[in-house]
Chain A
């Protein structure tokens, strides 16, 4: 069915292949390629500020995708994702600073190390589910945060640690324009990997564990294996995201990886849509642009009575924090399936246009 260029008005799939294909139509594939090409041209006409936002979206998007594999596809809950993100950042910095591994290798290696840590904390995950697991990961968050503050050899303690910029064959990706390409390549590769994972036997097993774990077990799916595996994959993505973050900012401080950051990750996947890969990216973009929107909003009302009454200028940090919580609540109450669901509805509307009713 790859020859179809527009979405057909109904389901005319005749093979499993056409059901699991990434791009249902030729147009959607062309548009995806066009999107990537347009993004490649971004550094030519965007200023550094916008580029830095886009880079943020890519490394956060990679980490959030890991969380979505865990929460959205496997149905496990984790409130400690930022700790793994932080671990990846420190691991990569440590590998390149102390062990002397070149940065290009340190980033994937950091992912692997974070996977091992994730598996360690994922061990309770094999036995626990639902809110017990949520509480266990909450404990993991605090334990790892404490570890960051204490392990001077690994994280540089309270002073933080410096991370070398990524260098390949003597070419340093140390400016926003250059690093943008690294982030974009990493983003595309990680998203394609995840999409393909979900089309394999293992990916379907994860979804089966989420939908009804008892039935899944009866069908011969090893629950312990897949729950732990999902934890490992999620930690791997977090580690890669964290490592990119470290080598982008070239400095990692121990204070950043708080529970609020973990909640932000959860917010991204809820806003984007649990169990949707493209939704993750939309949710991440939403979460990154939210503080900017708050900033713009404050600028808009500055000088008015509202501004003086609430003293917005000094309290913008609290406004941002509040907006994160509010957006999560509002999405859960009004659009629990997230932006991905909205997008699907828009597509469904145009699919049958003008006879949509």
Chain B
């Protein structure tokens, strides 16, 4: 029973991170209708940058981390301007392939620069575990959960009250209308990529602190698909819910598997079976808007 409970907690923590990454994925999709297959590489690049600053330059975490975020901000903007802007108006296969190409390039570049082996972050917290409701939980897990909740709340505030967030929602709703209201759609596109890259980097650093940094991080970018499809491709709330469900689901599948089925590897694969099932039953997800086509 404790194992089940532990797995549930694990699932929620990992799921919250999935939710964060899924949210930044949805942000790009909503703003610019681009499916970003390189989302996982944002995590990877962010984590490696932070790791490099912390170990190579021996910077303390509270300096290295903001620098990482600033770098990712610039990175997202440049990426959008240089690679994605020429792709506006191209067929969907081209756009998908460009992001896939980017993901290959970044992944290989990261392996080239930092090697293929997982490298641990220098310890950030004084005590490795804290006692939470009678359960020994690793401090980094608590931190990761707190960060996830913080980011989600931040997103909520950003889209509801801030000027930029409202402008972004207007862009997502209708680009022409937004433009006629004086919103620079190009800025919004660049901004959405920048924010997405930044938030993904936060998630990347968090996972890196917990598990060490390696190219396995980019698998988050793939795991995001079940989450966003479950929640609905263009729903931020759906992304969070989908992320949590996928996180819990894969841990439950792992539990089922280890207790009774013994098929092995269910942790990795279960979300994809669910993905296919959802696509068959309800392709627009729980919260997504259904496309209505008119001729």
Contacts and interface: CB of A to CB of B under 8 A. Distances in A.
Given A128-B283, A139-B276, A150-B263, A266 B112 contact: no
B132 interface: no
A321 interface: yes
A124 B105 contact: no
Contact of B97 (A123, A140, A214, A332): A332
Given A146-B268, A324-B104, A325-B105, 17 more contacts: A79-B100, A135-B225, A135-B279, A142-B269, A260-B104, A266-B97, A270-B94, A319-B108, A321-B111, A325-B108, A328-B97, A328-B101, A329-B102, A332-B97, A332-B98, A333-B83, A336-B90
Contact of B279 (A136, A325, A329, A333): A136
A322 interface: yes
A28 B279 CA distance: 47
Contacts of B100: 79, 263, 266, 325, 328
Interface residues of A, number: 43
Closest 9 CB pairs of A and B: A325-B104, A325-B105, A321-B108, A328-B101, A139-B272, A318-B112, A322-B108, A329-B101, A325-B101
A329 B83 contact: yes
B104 A136 contact: no
Given A214-B295, A332-B87, A127 B283 contact: yes
Nearest to B29: A131
Interface of B: 35, 83, 86-87, 90, 92-94, 96-98, 100-105, 107-109, 111-112, 222, 225-226, 229, 233, 263-265, 268-269, 272-273, 275-276, 279-280, 283, 293, 295
B154 to A, nearest CB: 27
Contact of B94 (A132, A136, A332): A332
B104 A318 contact: no
A71 interface: yes
Contacts of A150: 263-265
A130 B264 CA distance: 32
A138 B100 CA distance: 12
Contact of A146 (B92, B104, B112, B265): B265
Contacts of B276: 124, 136, 139-140, 143
B102 A322 contact: no
Interface in A97-127: 123-124, 127
A168 interface: no
Give the one of A79, A131, A274 with max B CB within 10 A. A131
Interface string A258-274: 00100100110010001
A233 interface: no
Nearest to A133: B279
Contacts, number: 120
Contacts of B263: 150
A225 B284 CA distance: 23
Contact of A138 (B90, B108, B222, B269): B222
A212 to B, nearest CB: 9
Given A77-B96, A325-B104, A143 B273 contact: yes
B280 A124 contact: yes
27 contacts: A71-B93, A77-B93, A79-B100, A124-B276, A124-B279, A127-B279, A131-B96, A132-B229, A135-B229, A135-B279, A139-B226, A142-B222, A143-B272, A149-B265, A263-B101, A270-B97, A318-B108, A322-B105, A322-B109, A322-B112, A328-B97, A328-B100, A332-B90, A332-B98, A333-B86, A336-B90, A336-B94
A336 B295 CA distance: 27
B101 A332 contact: yes
A325 B101 CA distance: 4
Nearest to A312: B112
Contacts of B233: 131
Interface in A53-107: 71, 75, 77, 79
B56 to A, nearest CB: 17
A329 B268 contact: no
A326 interface: yes
A3 interface: no
